[in-house]
């Protein structure tokens, strides 16, 4: 479609993604220069529609950006009162005491929040400063300048038919050009992926590692609700099949966030993260909390877990990667929103300095220096060995060694240096012949639910007349390679039931992509062992419509 004529609009800074990183950047740009021309483009139907996070928020990022956030009515009102950590067995649990944990693991001073609602509030602050925010505007491609720099994006293309032709109501979209483009798309963003490949930004860095986070919001019996309580668990039901754990956060209004994270570096292709989550809710400790309550929302999202050693180069000519596009999650703390905000602030400060020096389209190296040497780098460097220890030696050893390493890092040194991750999550998948099928219990429809029933509670919608946004590099690979070699893992790793292998009598097995179910978690793009699935943006406004995730 290179021949399409599009109108172009010029800005100082174009920001892709209205998450905590992108909105922080927008706010800081206008704080520093009220005349700076800033636009934020968001693929969700509204700001917050595609935001899914735990979340216990460390307010350090917001304190730096908007120190008077309390006075301005930020939806951050449930302080953490109690912090619990349990190791689960099938029938029981053992509480791990808080005192041996490094200080950085303490949640004192943090808040249980809906990051969707925090982002909606941040968008209001940005618009009050004069930032233009356009939701429902998916950025489908990058625009490059004469010198090979990123100079903008294409946004708002609508009306393409399923076969790729232009429909009757076709809208070509617009080119939005900027002196600098910030990509804050969240984990495994499609444009960030292109930039990393084009400029070889991952060279010299460890592969990024990921987890799949699934979350439900429950309204529970008021007698069981304990506002401000934070609980994390590890162990059952994952066992040796995969790393991961759970979170249970009691917010206000008798609501509880129940979440489950599965590290995507698992070897056994028979692992089903979604069914592990549903099984977890039947543990006596969790079941007792949820019985008599009702689930009101569901969603899923990949989490970047590689940390310090997996962060790629963050800048290339004309473009900077922010927040989870880089991977700034502190894995043992299960927190990344504070670093996303700090990264947006740092990128904005670098861009304003460059623009005032009459620069554009070059590398914002000051931004990268600040991330690596400033608060974000200090936060991530202390915990850099926890994830590789877990991947290599399992849960128990990683708790002991990882805890010891975090303590020594708190004191300013590490006996382990910086450990590597080795394989990507796709490469970690082993052939099905080496593993046994895992027998998961069937959901009961009360505490646990089948995938398609739960997807309805993500309020996901895709216009079905458009082309599938999940692209296969080779349409033969799923049936000819992934099914015989890996037992068709896409039918299991997807938490929304997008992929299925359909067998009909007398016919060849078909690989079916139900793209309208997609909750934009990006797991398929990450975990497919053949790296044959490419996640691209559907038309703007499509996807989940999360209420207060």
In a domain, 543, yes or no: no
Q: 485 lies in which domain range? A: 432-535
pLDDT in tens, 291-333: 999 999 999 999 999 999 999 999 999 999 999 999 999 998 8
3-state helix, strand, coil in the chain (%, to 5): 30, 25, 45
**What pLDDT score does 387 carry?**
85
**What pLDDT score does 397 carry?**
67
Question: Is residue 249 domain-shared with residue 104, that is, in the same domain?
Answer: yes
DSSP string for 5-55: --EEEEEEEEEE--SHHHHHHHHHHHHH-TT--EEEEESSSSTTTT-----
- Specify whether the CB–CB gap between 319 and 181 falls below 8 A: yes
Q: Is 246 helix (H, G, I), strand (E, B) or coil?
A: strand
pLDDT at residue 394 tops 90: no
- Higher pLDDT among residues 393 and 342, named by residue: 342
Q: Last residue of some domain: 248, 275, 304?
A: 304
Q: Which residues 6+ apart lie within 8 Å of 275 measured at CB?
A: 440, 441, 443, 492
Q: Last residue of some domain: 304, 321, 337?
A: 304
- Specify whether the CB–CB gap between 394 and 240 falls below 8 A: yes
pLDDT at residue 1 tops 60: no
- Specify whether the CB–CB gap between 469 and 515 falls below 8 A: yes
For residues 98-124, give the mean pLDDT. 89
Q: Last residue of some domain: 281, 304, 327?
A: 304
Place of tokens 């997996």: 310
pLDDT in tens, 192-245: 999 999 999 999 999 999 999 999 999 999 999 999 999 999 999 999 999 999
pLDDT in tens, 54-69: 999 999 999 999 999 9
**What pLDDT score does 2 carry?**
47
In a domain, 438, yes or no: yes
**What pLDDT score does 3 carry?**
72
| CATH code: domain of residue 507 | 3.30.70.20
Percent of the chain whose pLDDT exceeds 70: 99
Question: Is residue 368 domain-shared with residue 316, that is, in the same domain?
Answer: yes
- Specify whether the CB–CB gap between 297 and 546 falls below 8 A: yes
Q: Is 298 helix (H, G, I), strand (E, B) or coil?
A: strand
Question: Is residue 175 domain-shared with residue 148, that is, in the same domain?
Answer: yes
Q: Is 332 helix (H, G, I), strand (E, B) or coil?
A: coil
Q: Which of 338, 289, 331 is nearest to 310 (CA)?
A: 331
For residues 500-507, give the mean pLDDT. 93
- Higher pLDDT among residues 1 and 90, named by residue: 90
| CATH code: domain of residue 224 | 3.30.9.90
pLDDT at residue 410 tops 90: no
- Specify whether the CB–CB gap between 215 and 300 falls below 8 A: yes
| Cα dihedral 462→275→334→58 (10° resolution) | 60
Whole-model pTM: value is 0.96
Q: Which letter does DSSP use for residue 443 in this model? A: P
For residues 113-137, give the mean pLDDT. 98
Nearest-angstrom CA–CA distance, 390 and 505 = 45
**What pLDDT score does 389 carry?**
83
In a domain, 427, yes or no: no
For residues 28-46, give the mean pLDDT. 98
- pLDDT category of residue 413 using cuts at 50, 70 and 90: confident
pLDDT at residue 350 tops 80: yes
**What pLDDT score does 231 carry?**
97
Over the chain, what is the mean pLDDT? 95
| Helical spans, DSSP H, in 73-223 | 115-128, 190-198
In a domain, 545, yes or no: no
Q: Is residue 99 packed enough to be buried (19+ CB in 10 Å), middle (13-18) or exposed (0-12)?
A: exposed
Nearest-angstrom CA–CA distance, 324 and 426 = 19
């Amino acid at each position: 479609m290179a021949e399409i004529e599009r109108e172009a609009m010029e800005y100082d800074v174009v920001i892709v993604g209205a998450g905590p990183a992108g909105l922080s950047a927008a706010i800081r740009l206008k704080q520093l220069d009220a005349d700076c021309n800033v636009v934020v483009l968001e693929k969700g139907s509204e700001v917050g529609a595609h935001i899914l996070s735990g979340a216990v928020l460390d307010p350090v990022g917001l304190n730096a950006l908007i120190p008077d956030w309390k006075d301005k009515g930020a939806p951050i009102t449930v302080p953490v009162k109690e912090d619990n950590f349990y190791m689960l067995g099938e029938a029981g649990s053992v509480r791990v005491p808080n005192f041996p944990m490094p200080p950085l693991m303490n949640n004192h001073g943090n808040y249980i929040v809906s990051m969707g609602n925090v982002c909606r509030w941040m968008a209001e602050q940005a618009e009050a400063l004069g930032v233009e925010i356009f939701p429902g505007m998916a950025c489908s491609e990058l625009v490059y300048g004469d010198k090979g720099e990123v100079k903008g994006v294409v946004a708002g293309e609508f009306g393409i038919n399923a076969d790729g032709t232009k429909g009757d109501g076709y809208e070509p979209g617009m080119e939005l050009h900027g002196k600098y483009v910030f990509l804050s798309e969240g984990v495994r963003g499609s444009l960030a992926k292109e930039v990393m490949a084009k400029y070889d930004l991952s060279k010299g860095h460890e592969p990024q590692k990921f987890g799949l986070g699934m979350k439900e919001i429950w309204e529970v019996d008021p007698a069981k609700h304990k506002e401000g309580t934070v609980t994390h668990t590890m162990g059952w039901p994952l066992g040796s099949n995969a790393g991961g754990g759970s979170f249970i956060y009691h917010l206000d209004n008798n609501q509880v966030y129940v979440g489950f994270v599965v590290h995507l570096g698992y070897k056994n292709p028979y692992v089903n993260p979604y069914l592990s989550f549903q099984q977890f809710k039947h543990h006596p400790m969790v079941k007792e909390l949820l019985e008599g309550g009702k689930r009101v929302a569901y969603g899923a999202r990949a989490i970047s877990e590689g940390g310090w050693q997996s962060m790629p180069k963050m800048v290339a000519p004309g473009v900077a990667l922010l927040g989870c596009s880089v991977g700034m999650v502190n894995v043992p703390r299960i927190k990344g929103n504070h670093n996303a905000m700090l990264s947006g602030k740092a990128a904005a400060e670098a861009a304003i300095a460059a623009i005032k020096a009459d620069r554009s389209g070059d590398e914002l190296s000051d931004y990268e220096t600040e991330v690596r040497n400033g608060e974000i780098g200090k936060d991530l460097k202390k915990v850099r060995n926890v994830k590789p220890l877990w991947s290599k030696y399992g849960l128990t050893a990683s708790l002991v060694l990882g805890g010891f390493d975090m303590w020594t890092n708190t004191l300013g040194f590490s006996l382990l240096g910086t450990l590597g991750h080795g394989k990507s999550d796709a490469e970690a998948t082993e052939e099905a012949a080496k593993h046994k099928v895992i027998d998961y219990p069937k959901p009961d429809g009360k505490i646990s639910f089948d995938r398609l029933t739960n997807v309805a509670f993500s309020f996901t919608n895709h216009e079905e007349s458009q082309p599938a946004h999940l692209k296969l590099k080779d349409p033969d690979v799923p049936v000819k390679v992934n099914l015989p070699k890996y037992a068709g893992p896409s039918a299991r790793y997807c938490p929304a039931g997008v992929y299925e292998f359909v067998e009909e009598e007398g016919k060849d097995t078909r690989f079916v992509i139900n793209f309208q179910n997609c909750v934009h978690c990006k797991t398929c793009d990450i975990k497919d062992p053949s790296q044959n699935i490419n996640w691209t943006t559907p038309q703007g406004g499509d996807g989940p419509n999360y209420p207060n995730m």
